[in-house]
């Protein structure tokens, strides 16, 4: 036997209330029992070496996957900057050559 629309809506509403209560209980339990037992978090260095965080200094390892830092590093080194410009030129040239071949094939055909 299949449920009608009203029965489905009532079941969904009941499950929604159960989920709200479950999540509320979990958050309450974490706040009362789990979080107070955790150690305080240590400061995190956000890029700058020797940045003062609180009362202690922490230096970064120098490695970062941040796009800004990568671009800043590449653009500050002449060899890397030249290599990046050359690579961009090769990619652009290959794309233009492919497009030019397509245009020439259409014109000549």
Whole-number pLDDT of residue 58:
47
* CB-CB contact of 41 with 34 (8 Å): no
- Of the candidates 51, 10, 75, 95, which has an alpha carbon nearest to the alpha carbon of residue 103? 95
The per-residue pLDDT for range 72-95, each reduced to its tens digit, is 776 677 777 788 888 988 888 888
Q: Which two tokens stand for residue 84?
A: 């990046």
* Strands in the chain per DSSP E: 51-53, 56-58
* Strands in 1-107 per DSSP E: 51-53, 56-58
d(CA 23, CA 38): 21
Whole-number pLDDT of residue 35:
81
């Amino acid at each position: 036997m299949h449920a009608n629309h009203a029965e489905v809506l009532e079941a969904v509403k009941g499950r929604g209330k159960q989920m709200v209560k479950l999540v509320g209980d979990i958050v309450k339990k974490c706040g009362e029992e789990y979080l107070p037992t955790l150690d305080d978090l240590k400061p995190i260095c956000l890029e700058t070496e020797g940045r003062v965080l609180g009362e202690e200094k922490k230096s970064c390892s120098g490695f970062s996957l941040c796009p800004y830092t990568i671009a800043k590093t590449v653009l500050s080194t002449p060899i890397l900057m030249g290599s990046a410009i050359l690579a961009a030129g090769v990619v652009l040239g290959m794309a233009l050559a492919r497009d030019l071949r397509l245009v020439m094939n259409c014109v000549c055909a």
